[in-house]
Amino acid sequence: MKAAYIFRLASRNMWRSRLRSVLTIAGIAVAIISFGLLRTVVDSWYAGAELGASGRLITRNAASLAFPLPLSYGERIRRLQGINAVTWANWFGGIYIDEKHFFPQFAVDPESYFKVYPEYVIDPTELAAFQHDRRGVVVGSKTANKYGWKVGDQVPLRGTIYPGTWSFTIRGIYHGRDDKVDTSQFLMHWAYVNENIKALVPSLADRVGIFVIDSSNPANAAITSASIDSLFRNSLSETRTETQKAFQLGFISMVDTILLAIQTVAYVVVLIIMAVMANTMAMAARERTREYATLKALGFSHAFVYSLIIGESVTMALLGGGLGIALTFPLSKAFFSATRDLFLVFEVMPMTIILQVIASLLIGVMASLAPAINSSRVRIVDGLRAVT
């Protein structure tokens, strides 16, 4: 009952200076939105790794991903116990129009690649056309929509790793089993690329960047990985095998500093708005010094005055926080639409919402501490004589 009374008084106090309160609430909302979007950016970087199938393993050169592996390794891996299927891929790295028009390009084995990636959904007729045309490619629906491509279109690429000008015919467009599947890839025949490389750069021929392995028992991924790596120990090209998730987290670790900077900025935004809020509450408390002194003279306790200031600050912070949380969802969708090439998914996670609520409460409580303590220390006679 008393809490409800204090809350009602605090709410009325909040609107005594409407413009200042509205601007402060808007500032808190902007800070909470920024905090939520920055947190979601960090979560989205890691989301791609979480989407990888647990039974899929990646084998690469132990020295570096820059060094390829002999194609013959694939057959030896396939003969190991617990292996369902093996396919391979090479990063192609061609340029379409110019460097700004980037999309991932891989030279793959058309017979086995789609068996290992069942989440890539393609029309069987289009897949068969791709498998029978060495110059054919399959394109993800996102990239096809971006450039307005359709089946039968010709796509020229300027080679970087593999020199020369290459021309491919789109034979199929694949879609994702759900919205979280990467549909930006451009997949061509590894054999066609390899055939040309034999003539241009023989040292790069018959080599692949990675082997993608479908193991029968995901729970034994560590044992299977060790078996594969032991197979090629002390060879000229030793291997490193890991789960697809670990492989992708390895890429993410290269930008750890950037992610740390983004997280730091997210918390700094909260600290800045906390300082602004503290200034607002200090001004409000200073203007009401005589009122607080009058309340004390009438017998109200320090705790009551203290509660009024905290209640007003927390109410204002929660209003701003609630507005910020509500706007985070439409703004995150708009952000994702504008940056679809950067993220596979961009979802506001429940933990982000919880942190936004905690940040709002923290802003409200911390911003009220200094003015509340100062108000409680002011003597009644000094408060009544105060000029505001």
Given this model, what pLDDT does residue 18 score? 85
162 pLDDT tier (thresholds 50, 70, 90): confident
Query: How far does Cα 120 stand from its chain's mean position?
Result: 21
DSSP three-state, residue 266: helix
Given this model, what pLDDT does residue 131 score? 93
What number is the average pLDDT over the span 208-234?
Answer: 88
Q: Hey, where are the domains in the chain?
A: 1-49+255-385, 63-237
DSSP three-state, residue 172: strand
115-124, 141-150, 362-371, 373-382: which range is least confident on average?
A: 373-382
Q: Are 288 and 16 in contact (CB under 8 A)?
A: no
Q: Are 302 and 309 in contact (CB under 8 A)?
A: no
**String of b and e for 149-187 (b: at least 16 CB within 10 Å)?**
bebeeebebebeebeeebebebbbbbbbeeeebbbbbbb
pLDDT digits (tens, 9 = 90+) for 355-382: 999 999 999 889 888 888 887 777 777 7
Residue 52 predicted with pLDDT over 70: no
- Whole-number Cα distances in Å, 110 to 138, 152, 279: 9, 18, 64
pTM value surpassing 0.75: no
User: For the packed helices 18-50 and 302-338, what is the interaxial angle rounded to 10 degrees?
Assistant: 50
What number is the average pLDDT over the span 210-237?
Answer: 88
Q: Is 361 exposed, middle or buried (0-12, 13-18, 19+ CB in 10 A)?
A: middle
The rounded mean pLDDT for the chain is 86
Q: Are 216 and 223 in contact (CB under 8 A)?
A: no
Kind of pairing between the strands at 120-121 and 69-70: unpaired
- Whole-number Cα distances in Å, 372 to 7, 141, 250, 265: 16, 58, 49, 29
pLDDT digits (tens, 9 = 90+) for 278-306: 888 888 888 888 888 888 888 888 888 88
- Whole-number Cα distances in Å, 385 to 290, 298, 382: 7, 16, 5
Given this model, what pLDDT does residue 16 score? 81
**Containing H/E element for 146?**
helix 141-147
Q: What are phi and psi of 333, to 5 degrees?
A: -65, -40
